[in-house]
Amino acid sequence: MRANSPESRTMPEQPTAVLRATRHHGELGDWTGKAFDQVADYLHRHGVAPCGFPFARYHLRTDGSFEVEAGLPIPTPIAGDTHVQPSRLPAGHVVAVWHIGLYDQLGDAYEALDDWLRAHYGIRTGDPWEVYHGPQRNDPQPWRTEVIQPFALRRATSMPIGRRTPVTTHEELG
C-alpha cells in the first residue's frame, strides 16, 4: 500500500444520488458495484450528469453490519424513486488520505486518519466515506481511493490558577 499524509480541508455540502442498504463486510464489494450502476442508470434516464467519482459512506452498526449508501455526487438534488434516493455529503472540516493499492489493504488509510486525529486533537463528527478514483473494472492499474473523515478540533483549556504544574485538558470546539 502507498498512502500520502492525511490533510485537512473544508468541504461544501455536496448533493448526491444513492442506494442505501444494510450489509455485512463480505457483501460490500459486490453490492457497491451494482449500486453505482443503478445510480448511474437512474441519472442517465433523468438527464443528470454526475459531478464527481463514485463514493460509499459507511456507518458501523452494533451487530457488526454496515448501513451503507453508495452513489454519485450530483450538481443539484434529485427527486429519487423507490431505489435511488437523494442524499448529501456534509459540509465542514474533513481530514482525507489517499490509499493506492488493493481494497483489502485500506485499513492502513483508516489508521493514518486515526493517528492524524490523535496528533491534532481531532474528534470524529460523522461517518467516513470513500471516493473511488479508479481503476475501472478489470483495469490492472492500482486502485486509488480517497478516505474522508469529518472532524472537529478540541480546544485546549488551562487548569485553575495556582497550580505549579501546567496541565491541559481538551474540549470540543463549539
- Radius of gyration of the chain from Cα atoms? 19
Q: Report how far apart, in Å, the C-alpha atoms of 33 and of each of 72, 107, 113, 141, 145 are.
A: 12, 20, 25, 18, 14
User: Residue ranges of the domains in the chain?
Assistant: 2-172
The Cβ of residue 3 has, within 10 Å, a number of other Cβ atoms equal to 19
Is the pLDDT assigned to residue 19 strictly greater than 90?
yes
> Tens of pLDDT along 69-102?
999 999 999 999 999 999 999 999 999 999 988 8
Per-residue pLDDT tens digits for 121-146: 999 999 999 999 875 555 656 778 99
Give CATH superfamily name and number for 2-172. Regulatory factor, effector binding domain (3.20.80.10)
For the whole prediction, is pTM greater than 0.85? Answer: no
For 36, the grid coordinates are: 453505482
